[in-house]
Structure 1
Amino acid sequence: MTMADLSKVRVRALIDEIDVGKVSIGQVVSIKVAAYRDKEFFGIVKKIEPQARIEQNVTTFPVLIDIENDENLLLLGMNTDVVIEVLNKDVSVSAPTMSLRTRKDIYSAAGILNIPKAEVDEFLSDYVNGENFNKFIVIKDTKKGPELTWVEIGASDLSNVEVITGLNKDDLVYILPSKSLFDYQKRFRERVQASFSFG
């Protein structure tokens, strides 16, 4: 009887066609499995298959990831969640994805920080080529107070984005709730206040 060698296993991850261009051979991958919720495994991207898969009008590309499995914890057929490290040491400036704002939602974010509407209007008076594609708005924390600025972004690992222009390495940016979350929190506070009002 021959036993399979499970000291190294391979995961086949399906990557959306929008994101597959950000994946390259040799990138580090973080892997989680349901059986070991508190343990993180690491692997390396070994192959990006050229043949797309289309299911329910969603196009994905299989990416093969080799994982060291010295403890033989990973078994064949296990479901995995993978995070591919797109941002690496070559990225000099990055920002949290949650700090990015568009022309549509900058007013609510600015309102939270008491930035006057007239100031936002003036900032948005000119159209910026690449808006909502690779140009977004962030709010910097400066000595003079919150400041709106356009940034050009590059690679992303979902949590963070590479900033090509618009920010310096030591700049701080605000991470603010979305308008829907802010409105929900406001309504919740109003309900709590109403429940404790006497009269």
Structure 2
Amino acid sequence: MSAISSVRRSWLLAGGAGALLLFAGLLCARTPALSIEVAVARRAPLRVEVNTNGTVEPVPEAELRVHARVAGRILEIPEPGTRVVTGDVVLEIEPGPVAAELASAESEKLAAEESLRAAQRTHTRVSKRAATDAELHAEGALNPHRYAESRAQQAEARERFENLQSEVPLRVASLDLRIAELRAQLAATKVLAPFDGTVYRTSYKQDEISEVGAPVLWLADLSRLRIRANVDQVDLGRVSVGQQMRITANAWPDREWSAIVSEIVPYVVVKENRSVSESLALVQPPSEGLIPGMTVDVDILVADVADALQVPAMAVHRGDGAPFVYTVVGDHARRTPVELGRQGISTVEILGGVEPEARVVVGYSSGLEDGVRLEIRIPDVAAR
């Protein structure tokens, strides 16, 4: 090959390479940058909360649930919301029918005991007479017919006495149980408040007829309340006794209450397609505004970090089970693996992989991948 041909070939190759570079440059220039939003990884306090709902209820030792022990006309019952003090009558049922039944049972017991005593007296009397008749018969002073009658009367008295000796104690024991129950029922026709509190619910009104065993009223000290909160199964490992709870209610949008978790019920149930356990929390005073049965929103504080490096939760992605973010390097995206810490409401703690003040892409856009050219759509927003 001649020198002229070699030079010509070199120029052709160089020209081709230049053309390719020029085409690639033109292609990049024509490929639009991906428009994205970014946030800055910043250090700030981080509160981690479990958000759920619950209901208000009195603590068991500060609540009285009254059930009717007897059926009868209700003579006295307070209206819901009535404040009572210790010793006030909170329920009175007409005692007449129970009192009459009690008097009848007591009279029946006395009659049974008296029948035994009478049989004993008769047996003693007839036995003495029979002994005398036996002596007279032996002396020939009493004819055989009269003597036979005497012995028959003695046998009859003895049989009756022996029968009553076995029957009456059983009957009296049964009546004693019945009398005790009736006395308890009679006492239950009038219920007194065992503590100062508020009648917060009733199921009967005055002059209505109560049914045996039916709940009649609920009395509680409303300064001693607790929250029964639903804790999703996935959050059980984060909730523990002693944690603070913030309580809000739609009925009082401008108010908050606090409580302390006192117990985690070790049982999971399904409620409205949620697998939940229950957390009990004692409401800290003041508790005014909360009433039993009210549905409330609950935020359980599971962690409170004074200084944590954070990025928005929407900046974190997962691939192959590992978390990563897209950091902004120059005007390109770089896929950056990260180590996550605690999860806040809208931010995530970063334990490794990203330095403070690093810019990260927020959210996901079609075409977002490692190395893609970026156009920041909104100025940097610090992670909050």
TM-score bracket for this pair, using the shorter chain length: 0.5 to 0.7
- Aligned counterparts of 1:66 and 1:174: Cα–Cα separation in 2: 43
Is the contact made by 2:257 and 2:287 (CA closer than 8 Å) also made in structure 1? no
Q: Secondary structure at the match of 1:102?
A: strand
Q: Determine which of 324, 335, 339 is the counterpart of 1:152.
A: 339
Q: Secondary structure at the match of 1:167?
A: coil
Q: Determine which of 161, 164, 168 is the counterpart of 2:351.
A: 164
- Aligned counterparts of 2:222 and 2:336: Cα–Cα separation in 1: 51
Is the contact made by 1:6 and 1:69 (CA closer than 8 Å) also made in structure 2? no
The Cα of 1:46 is off from its aligned counterpart by 2.0
- Aligned counterparts of 2:259 and 2:358: Cα–Cα separation in 1: 32
The CA RMSD measured in Å over matched residues stands at: 3.0
Select between 139-148 and 164-173 the one with higher mean Cα deviation: 139-148
Q: In the alignment, which residue of structure 2 is the partner of 1:197?
A: none
Is the contact made by 1:7 and 1:70 (CA closer than 8 Å) also made in structure 2? yes
Q: In structure 2, give the amino acid aligned to 1:9.
A: L
Structure with higher Rg: it is 2
Is the contact made by 1:87 and 1:161 (CA closer than 8 Å) also made in structure 2? no
User: For structure 2, which runs of at least 5 residues remain unmatched after alignment?
Assistant: 1-83, 85-195, 198-219, 367-384
The Cα of 1:50 is off from its aligned counterpart by 0.9
The Cα of 1:34 is off from its aligned counterpart by 0.9
The Cα of 1:61 is off from its aligned counterpart by 0.9
- Aligned counterparts of 1:11 and 1:67: Cα–Cα separation in 2: 7
Is the contact made by 1:8 and 1:70 (CA closer than 8 Å) also made in structure 2? no
Is the contact made by 1:95 and 1:160 (CA closer than 8 Å) also made in structure 2? yes
Could you tell me the TM-score, scaled by structure 2's length?
Answer: 0.34
Is the contact made by 2:242 and 2:261 (CA closer than 8 Å) also made in structure 1? yes
1:67 aligns to 2:296 (yes or no): no
- Aligned counterparts of 1:172 and 1:8: Cα–Cα separation in 2: 50
Q: In structure 2, give the amino acid aligned to 1:167.
A: V
Is the contact made by 1:91 and 1:162 (CA closer than 8 Å) also made in structure 2? no
For residues 72 and 86 of structure 1, do their structure 2 counterparts lie closer, same or farther at Cα, with a shift above 3 Å needed? same
Q: Secondary structure at the match of 1:51?
A: strand
Render the CA deviation track for 1:130-158: whole Å, top value 9, x for unaligned.
Answer: x2xxx322234567765432222233244
Q: In the alignment, which residue of structure 2 is the partner of 1:139?
A: 326
Q: In the alignment, which residue of structure 2 is the partner of 1:39?
A: 255
Number of aligned positions between the proteins = 150
Q: Determine which of 266, 269, 282 is the counterpart of 1:50.
A: 266
Structure 1 or 2: more helix by fraction: 2
For residues 50 and 7 of structure 1, do their structure 2 counterparts lie closer, same or farther at Cα, with a shift above 3 Å needed? same
The Cα of 1:162 is off from its aligned counterpart by 3.1
Percentage of pairs with the same residue: 29
Q: In the alignment, which residue of structure 2 is the partner of 1:196?
A: none
Render the CA deviation track for 1:20-51: whole Å, top value 9, x for unaligned.
Answer: 11112222222221101232333222221111
Select between 87-96 and 8-17 the one with higher mean Cα deviation: 87-96
1:16 aligns to 2:226 (yes or no): no
The Cα of 1:94 is off from its aligned counterpart by 3.4
Return the structure number with greater relative CO, CA threshold 8 A, min gap 6.
2
- Aligned counterparts of 1:98 and 1:149: Cα–Cα separation in 2: 15
Could you tell me the TM-score, scaled by structure 1's length?
Answer: 0.60
Is the contact made by 1:47 and 1:64 (CA closer than 8 Å) also made in structure 2? yes
Q: Secondary structure at the match of 1:85?
A: strand
